[in-house]
Amino acid sequence: MAVEPLVLDGKLVASEIKESLKSRVAALKEKGITPCLATVLVGDDPSSATYVKMKGNACAKIGMESRRIHLPKETTTEELLDVIGELNDDSSVHGILLQHPVPHHIDERAAFEAISIEKDVDGVTSLGFGQNSLGFGEYPSCTPAAIMSIIDYYGVSLEGKHAVVVGRSPILGKPVSMMLLNRNATVTTCHSYTENLPDLLATADIVVAAVGKPNFIQGEWVKEGAVILDAGYNKGNVGDIDYDACYEKASAITPVPGGVGPVTISMLLKQTVESAEKDARILQNS
């Protein structure tokens, strides 16, 4: 293809968001409120530990606090629910992130559901999902919110366009489908049972890859001029799309790394700051 696609640089989007958050955090501190994200990690998964550490560092960089709770892998569902309950009740905590995945013996859904809607800054509760899907929620799931931020930053048009989402997880495929639908895209959600994925992708103006399989989306499947957003992050810094082949066809494309990932963390920070700002307003009015 003669024209190179626009590379949708997530680091640019993320740094603009974080820059604006710094002054908001400073303003909150002047009122005596330091936005605080509590991260809960259960067990010893090294990738999860790295993610949690990255999130803590990101908080520190914009002047936010983070409180890291690390529980042993033997933790029971009940013990985890107790910890979440304490964080819900702690007025110095503005957001709660339970790092996925938790050990298999824990009821992860019950743990997510226990997070109070006011502190569900990672957008994992069914209530948060429902509210955002119906168009009035406060804190959407962070990766879908990151995808929407990139779309808005680069002025990608959605109205009437056909968006094909590959993946249907509760924190990615389903919520991003609903968010694209609320922005007037026509949305097709695909998954492992989909019989005719290449045919569907051939009609997609916008492709969201959220399937968790390295290099899964082939260049020959996508339409010339499609906007391709890769939310996948697999071992070896590889996304869910075959980048080089898709690059040849796309009008715009997110890289991996440096695409959706960095914006996701900035969404988590932004939503925690928003929760703290809400607290500040409540305090002011009380």
d(CA 204, CA 200): 7
In the complex with a copy of itself, which residue's Cβ is closer, 34 or 186? Answer: 186
d(CA 286, CA 280): 10
Count each helix (H run) and each strand (E run) in the chain, helices first. Answer: 10, 9
Nearer to a copy of itself, 164 or 273 (CB): 164
Phi/psi of residue 96, each to 5°? -125, 125
By CB under 8 A, residue 178 contacts a copy of itself: yes
Choice among 9, 120, 122, 242 that is catalytic: 122
Provide the minimum distance between the beta carbon of 201 and a copy of itself in the complex, in angstroms, as a whole number.
12
CA 243 to chain centre: 21
State how far the Cα of 201 lies from the Cα of 195, in Å rounded to an integer.
Answer: 12
Coil, strand, or helix at residue 201?
helix
Q: Is 122 a catalytic residue?
A: yes
CA distances from 53 to 39, 132, 178, 204, 215 (A): 9, 28, 30, 37, 27
Residues in the chain: 286
Please select the residue that binds a copy of itself; options are 170, 212, 214, 219, rule is CB under 8 A.
170
Nearer to a copy of itself, 50 or 184 (CB): 184
Shorter beta-carbon distance to a copy of itself: residue 128 or 261: 128
Q: Does 184 bind a copy of itself (CB under 8 A)?
A: yes
120 flagged as catalytic: no
Cβ 47 to a copy of itself shortest distance, Å: 24
Q: How far is the CB of 157 from a copy of itself (least distance, A)?
A: 11
Q: Is 226 helix (H, G, I), strand (E, B) or coil?
A: coil
Residue 107 annotated among the catalytic residues of the structure: no
The DSSP element (H or E) to which 98 belongs, if any, is strand 95-98
Binding mask 103-142 for a copy of itself (x = CB under 8 A): ------x---------------xxxxxxx-xx-xx-----
Asked if 187 interacts with a copy of itself (CB under 8 A), we say yes
User: Token pair of 11, please?
Assistant: 């680091």
CB 180, min distance to a copy of itself, A: 9
Partners of residue 98 on adjacent β-strands: 40
Q: Which candidate in 55, 174, 223, 249 is catalytic?
A: 55
Residues that bind a copy of itself (CB under 8 A): 109, 125-131, 133-134, 136-137, 159-162, 168, 170, 174, 177-178, 181, 184-191, 193-196, 199-200, 203
Residues annotated as catalytic are: 55, 99, 122
